[in-house]
Structure 1
Amino acid sequence: EFEEKKELSALIMLSPVQDPSRFGIAVMEGNKIIKTIEKPKEPPSNLAIIGLYLFRKDIFEGIANIKPSWRGELEITDAIDWLIQHKGTVEGHIIYGWWKDTGKPEDLIEANHKILDEIIEEFKIEGTVEASSVIQGRVSVGKNSEVVNSVIRGPVIIGDNCTISNAYIGPYTSIGNGVMIENCEIENSIVMDEVKISNLSFRIDSSVIGKKVEIIENDGKPKGVQIIAGDLSKVIVSR
C-alpha cells in the first residue's frame, strides 16, 4: 500500500491508549496526520505513535532541519511534522489489536507473559536434562544447555549454553544465552545473556535482569547488601 501511494511521505502506525501523555501523539483528519506532539501535557487525541514507521528518504532531510526539544533530544515527532509542513502527505494506520509499550520493567514482564502464552511449536528440549530434574509444562532448553537437579515449571524458555543447577525456574521466565543459575529460585522474570545468579536464600520474582549481571549471596559478616547499579536502575529489597 505504501509503495503504491507515491504521494505519501510517511505511513505511521498508531494505537488508541488510555494514558496518551506518556507517548508521542498524532492528530488526524480522516486518514491524514496533520500534527504530532511528543508526550503532551494536555493530549489533543488518544492516538499514540507506537514506533512503527514507513518513511521515504525525505525523512533524512527532516531530521537535518529540526532542533533538539526541551528534553535535549531530536524528536521523531518533530521530523514527522517537518514532513507534513514541507513535503507530502503523512497518513496514519490505526492498530486495534494487542499492542504493548515496553518502556517500563512491568511492561516487559507483561509482554513476556503474552509471548510465552502464544508460543506453541517453539518449545523443545535441545540441551541436556539430567534424570534428577523435573520438567513440567511447556519448557524449552537450548543447545548445549544443561539442567541438573532442578525443577522447571513452564512456560519457560532457556537459551543456549546455559547451566541450571539445584534451582527452581518458575512459570513465565525467559532466560537468555550463556546464563548460569545455581542454588536459587526465580520465576516470572526475564534474564538476559551471560547472567550469573547463585546461592540466594530468597526467590527472585517479577524481575528484569540485564546482560552480564551477577547476583550472589554470601554468609560473611557483617551482614549487609552491596549494590552496584547502572544508570536508571531500580532496586527493590523486601524485608
Structure 2
Amino acid sequence: MKALILAGGAGTRLRPITHTSAKQLVPVANKPVLDYGLEAMAAAGITEVGIIVGATRAEIEAHVGDGSAWGLDVTFVHQPEPLGLAHAVLTAEDFLGEDDFVMYLGDNLLAGGIGEFVAGFERARPTAQILLAQVPNPQEFGVAALDDAGRVTRLVEKPADPPSDLALVGVYLFTSRIFEAAKSIAPSGRGELEITDALQWLIDAGEPVDSHVVSGWWKDTGKLDDLLEANRIVLDATERRVDGSVDDASLAQGKVVLEAGAQLVNSTVRGPTVIGAGARIVDSYVGPYSAIDAGCVVTRSEVEHAIILADSTVTDVQRLEDSLIGRESTVAYQPTRPRAYRLMIGDHSSVGLA
C-alpha cells in the first residue's frame, strides 16, 4: 500500500500566518502538523509516500526532503491548482499506479494513527473505506448517510440539510478503481472535483464503500480555534521532560517539556506546556496549553493557551491567551489599560499593545 498526503492547500482560514508559511507546517505542540501525518504513515508500515504540493511546494519540499528522517521514500507531486481532492488523486495517478493507497489530508490530526484502519482495509478490501466522526456542525463538512450495516449509502459535500452528524475525517483508503470514478464526475458548483462525488459514483455503481466511525479525537487544524484545540489535545498526552535549566526562583509544575537550552528565570510554568530549545522565560508566567517554540523570549508577561512560533518575543504583556503568534514577531506592552488580548498575527510582525 502507498500513501498520498495532501499538502497543497493555501490555508486561507489561517491567514495571515499562511501568507508566509504553509499551513501544514504550522506547529502543534512545537511540531509541524505535517510531521504527525508522516509519523502516522511510518507507524502503519507504509513507506512509499506521495505528497501533493502546490504554491508552497518549496517550503514543503525543503522541510520533508527525501523522507528518510521518518523512514519514508517520498515523491512530490505538483498540483498546479487546488481543484479538489478528486483532482489531487488524478494528479497522482502515475505515482499511485494500480496500488491500493491511503489518502491523508496534511492538516489533519487523528488520535492513535491509522494502523488499525489500514489493517482492516487490507483484510476486507472494499473498493473504498472512509473514516467518519460525529460533529456538531456537519453542514461544514462532507457528510455520510449509512445503512444498518455501516455501509455508506450517500455522501453530500457541505449540505445545508445534513443527512446525519457523521463528517468525513481527512483519511480515505482506496483501490485503483477510484481513478475511474474521479474521471467520471463533473466539477461541483465551486469548480472542484469533489472526493464525495467520486465516492458517490462508486456507491451508485454498486461498489462497496465501507466506513469506520472514529472513537478518539480528530482535528482539522485549518482554523485558529481548531489549531489551539489540537495543541491542547496533543499537550495533554505529553510526558514531563526538563532538559533545559530552571533557576532557584522558578517553578516548572506538572507536565512541562523544557527543551535543551531553554531557560526559566524567576518564572513559573504550569503544564501541560512545551518550551522550545533556546527559549527564555524571564520574570513571567506561562500557563497550561501553551507551546512556545525555539528561540522565543517571554519577559515580564503572562501567557496561557497560546502558540508562539520560533524566535518571537513577548514583553510586558499583562495577559496573552487564545492566540497564535507568527515567527520572528514582537508583541510588547504600551502604557494603556486593556487587560487581555486575542491575537493572530503573521510572520515578521511587530505589534504594540495599547
Q: By the TM > 0.5 criterion, same fold? A: yes
Q: Is the 8 A contact 1:160 1:176 kept in 2?
A: yes
Superposed, which structure 2 residues align to 1:106-125 within 5 Å?
A: 106-119=225-238, 122-125=239-242
Offset of 1:125 from its aligned partner? 0.5
Structure 1: runs of 5+ lacking an equivalent: 221-226
The 3-state SS of whatever aligns with 1:74 is: coil
Task: State whether structure 2 residue 145 is matched by structure 1 residue 27.
Answer: yes
CA 60–178 in structure 1, closer or farther in 2 if over 3 Å, else same? farther
Aligned residue pairs: how many? 222
Can you list the C-alpha shifts for 1:158-192, whole angstroms capped at 9, x where unaligned?
12232323322112212233433333221111223
Identity score, percent: 40
| Larger RCO of the pair (alpha carbons < 8 Å, separation 6+) | 2
| Higher Rg of the two aligned structures | 1
Q: Is the 8 A contact 2:254 2:270 kept in 1?
A: yes
CA distance in 2, matches of 1:184, 1:62: 55
Offset of 1:99 from its aligned partner? 4.0
CA 140–39 in structure 1, closer or farther in 2 if over 3 Å, else same? same
Offset of 1:20 from its aligned partner? 1.4
Task: State whether structure 2 residue 287 is matched by structure 1 residue 163.
Answer: no
CA distance in 2, matches of 1:49, 1:98: 13
User: What CA RMSD, in Å, does the superposition of the two structures yield over aligned residues?
Assistant: 3.0
Superposed, which structure 2 residues align to 1:1-239 within 5 Å?
A: 1-6=120-125, 8-29=126-147, 30-86=149-205, 88-119=207-238, 122-192=239-309, 194-210=310-326, 212-217=327-332, 229=345
Q: Is the 8 A contact 1:123 1:157 kept in 2?
A: no
Q: Is the 8 A contact 1:184 1:197 kept in 2?
A: no
Bigger shift: residues 29-38 or 77-86: 77-86
TM-score by length of 1: 0.78
CA distance in 1, matches of 2:132, 2:241: 36
Offset of 1:196 from its aligned partner? 0.6
Structure 2: runs of 5+ lacking an equivalent: 1-119, 336-342
CA 195–26 in structure 1, closer or farther in 2 if over 3 Å, else same? farther
Which residue is 1:224 aligned to?
A: none
CA 228–23 in structure 1, closer or farther in 2 if over 3 Å, else same? closer
Bigger shift: residues 150-159 or 95-104: 95-104
Q: Is the 8 A contact 1:16 1:96 kept in 2?
A: no
TM-score by length of 2: 0.55
CA 138–97 in structure 1, closer or farther in 2 if over 3 Å, else same? closer
Select the structure that is richer in helix.
2
